[in-house]
Structure 1
Amino acid sequence: GVCHTFGHGLVIHPCENDSPELIQRLRELLDSSRMDGLILTPPMTENQELLDFLVSSGTPYVLISPLDNSQSELSVSVDDSVITQQAIQSLIDFGHRRIGFITGVRKRSGSEMRLLGYQQALEKNNISYDESLVVEGNFTFGSGVVAAQELLRHENPPTAIFASNDYMAAGVMKAALQLRISIPHELSLCGFDDTPVAGYMSPGLTTIRHPLERLASHAGELLIRQLKKHTQPFEAETLKSELILRGSTGPVNNKTD
């Protein structure tokens, strides 16, 4: 909508962030099209070689990225640590104190910020951080299954699990079904992203919703300001995400705590 308003078209071009040909493909794309600028999303936002190329080629760009200490002024962000802390707090308010956490790929800032929010919520509530309750995933359904099996077979298993995206949360639900663990009566489960699958799961998945339309709109406005060469300084923007409560979370079952 924003691009159209200002007379620009929008082209969505999928890229593999770890492809060795990424820079060359981007150079060819810039040479072969009338592309005025780029909006980058994770994990492309953390590819320093790519960002250096865009700067050296004079290509305007905006990042849609998790908020972290290296945030660029040419970015629109959400604070994953704050909203994750809120989600973990909701589990603690339900009485859960052993809360498993499935991270995403650890080298990505979004994964680290979500883990930070988990740690902050525990600290705020005087709950000791237990490394054995933190398992790394890779944002896929399969990694969620494997991580959940490890957590649920723990000698003192968690009564709640936070998965760093909805696909891994779906994997947790599959593992719980295999182990005949009832959600939410024996295990509460929270995901992240509010993908369409979250509402179709049974029970519905408690998760975190990013303001995607506003993120895209703000990023478009910021890019167009660059293209029009506005002289006023750019300011990074941080938008608020929302905790969506559904049926997969509930009070701790003291018989299993």
Structure 2
Amino acid sequence: MTRRSRDVNPSDSPPTMNGGGTINDIARLAGVSKKTVSRVINRSPLVQQETREKIEALIREVGYVPDPMARGLAFRKSFLIGMVYDNPNAQYIVNMQEGALDSLRGSGFELVVHPCDSKSDDYIDGVRHFVLQQRLHGVILVPRVSEDSALVEMLQQVGCRYARIAAVSLDEPARMIATNDRQGAVEVANYLESLGHRHIGLITGPQRYLSTRERGAGFLQALAKRGLELPATHVVEGGYTFESGVACAEKLLALEPRPTAIFTLNDEMAAGVYKAAFRMGLSIPEQLSVVGFDDSPLAARLWPSLSSVRLPIRDMGSFAAAMLIAADGEARSVPLIAPHLVVRESCQSPV
């Protein structure tokens, strides 16, 4: 019969140090126990602020860093935060990663990423293997995998903490960042109608994305409130990619009467509309107004610059990472995401 080793309390097994000195040196200089130093290193809320500041000052002065291997053994996990995504927009993912790194910098945690295909039958098994192999401290779920209840149930079963980012709230506040996408789409509808546009086209993302359904419904319902009903021919499903934006715009711009404005549910597809308009000899905004969503760096680089709904993607990644590395019992504020339209040069009243 094999004997199971008893669980190790992290505070009972403080990490060793591989810089200038040891944890014993810091404890002796600070006049505290090794357990107290370990709690400061591991961001425990159970240390008085004055003591914490004193120990942190000594850590900087002596110049040592915790040994990550020893910390992992003590905690029976690695100091890694995972990011799982299935998103065709590369810039969106880059911005999300940069935000997560903003929060992790200096914390002792590192970020590892796991792209996946959520349409694959075994993708949840692949995420499970990733979580268990890396012994993740927690995982950031990016749309659209964040919308998958089966994936969340698996993470709960294996005991991995998570932070979900989605267009609406799908979970407890401590695990959820809701981006309120519908609000931004409503603002676009009101703006285009106020300019006098009556023939409007809409390029959506894939319908399996919650963001598509929220943004599209918000836009159409807001137009309806202002007395505008879009014909089915004026709503075309894209793939959140540049190429799909070109193809969808060509369909819309072949209609009679031609739309005087097109709203795309992300900026990549809006750039595709620019290309289609150029091919057809249409000038923006004189003959066609265009609005995107996300306000990615691309929006300001297009010519004329693109009006787009600003979604603070980098902040969203930062908030999610901060949720995961917060100490148990630590008070956490729920971030409020409020998308809003940034008006640039791509829109004007129809001629």
Same fold, TM exceeding 0.5?
yes
2:307 aligns to what? 206
User: Which residue among 113, 118, 122 is the counterpart of 1:17?
Assistant: 118
1:178 aligns with 2:178: no
1:85 aligns to what? 186
**Partners of 1:246 and 1:140 in 2: CA distance:** 22
- Could you report, residue by residue, the CA deviation over 1:170-225 in whole angstroms, capped at 9, with x for unpaired residues? 11111111111111001100111122222221111111221123322322232234
- Could you report, residue by residue, the CA deviation over 1:10-67 in whole angstroms, capped at 9, with x for unpaired residues? 2233333333342333233233324110011011112232212101111100101111
Letter matched to residue 329 of structure 2: H
1:150 aligns to what? 251
1:152 CA drift (Å)? 1.0
2:28 aligns to what? none
1:52–1:71 Cα change, 3 Å: closer
C-alpha contact (below 8 Å) 1:72/1:236 kept by paired residues:
no
Report SS of the residue matched to 1:29: helix
Report SS of the residue matched to 1:55: helix
1:118 aligns with 2:216: no
**Partners of 2:109 and 2:163 in 1: CA distance:** 15
Report SS of the residue matched to 1:26: helix
**Higher RCO (CA-CA < 8 Å; seq separation 6+):** 1
**Partners of 2:227 and 2:199 in 1: CA distance:** 12
1:230 aligns with 2:290: no
Report SS of the residue matched to 2:263: strand
C-alpha contact (below 8 Å) 2:294/2:309 kept by paired residues:
yes
Greater Cα radius of gyration, structure 1 or 2 = 2
Runs of 4+ in 1 over 4 A off after TM superposition: 234-237
1:76 CA drift (Å)? 0.5
1:130–1:119 Cα change, 3 Å: same
Letter matched to residue 146 of structure 1: A
1:53 aligns with 2:151: no
1:5 CA drift (Å)? 5.0
C-alpha contact (below 8 Å) 2:236/2:248 kept by paired residues:
yes
**Partners of 2:339 and 2:321 in 1: CA distance:** 19
**Partners of 2:182 and 2:244 in 1: CA distance:** 22
**Partners of 2:206 and 2:325 in 1: CA distance:** 32
Report SS of the residue matched to 1:162: strand
Letter matched to residue 252 of structure 1: P
**Partners of 1:137 and 1:213 in 2: CA distance:** 24
TM, length-normalised to structure 1: 0.88
1:127 aligns with 2:240: no
1:185–1:71 Cα change, 3 Å: farther
| Range with bigger deviation, 99-108 or 212-221 | 212-221
1:112–1:210 Cα change, 3 Å: same
TM, length-normalised to structure 2: 0.66
C-alpha contact (below 8 Å) 2:182/2:218 kept by paired residues:
yes
Tell me how large the CA RMSD over aligned residues is.
Answer: 2.1
**Partners of 2:284 and 2:278 in 1: CA distance:** 9
**Partners of 2:313 and 2:276 in 1: CA distance:** 30
2:128 aligns to what? 27
1:138 aligns with 2:239: yes
Letter matched to residue 229 of structure 1: D
**Partners of 1:179 and 1:2 in 2: CA distance:** 46
List runs of 5+ in structure 2 lacking aligned partners: 1-101
C-alpha contact (below 8 Å) 1:206/1:245 kept by paired residues:
yes
C-alpha contact (below 8 Å) 1:211/1:241 kept by paired residues:
yes
**Partners of 2:201 and 2:131 in 1: CA distance:** 45
1:72 CA drift (Å)? 4.6
**Partners of 1:192 and 1:44 in 2: CA distance:** 20
2:350 aligns to what? 252
1:252 CA drift (Å)? 1.3
Letter matched to residue 307 of structure 2: T
C-alpha contact (below 8 Å) 1:77/1:215 kept by paired residues:
no
**Partners of 1:11 and 1:42 in 2: CA distance:** 17
1:83 CA drift (Å)? 0.6
C-alpha contact (below 8 Å) 2:114/2:130 kept by paired residues:
no
2:104 aligns to what? 3
- Could you report, residue by residue, the CA deviation over 1:80-139 in whole angstroms, capped at 9, with x for unpaired residues? 111111012111121112211011001211000111111122122111232221111111
**Partners of 2:333 and 2:172 in 1: CA distance:** 9
User: Which residue among 277, 297, 303 is the counterpart of 1:196?
Assistant: 297
List runs of 5+ in structure 1 lacking aligned partners: none
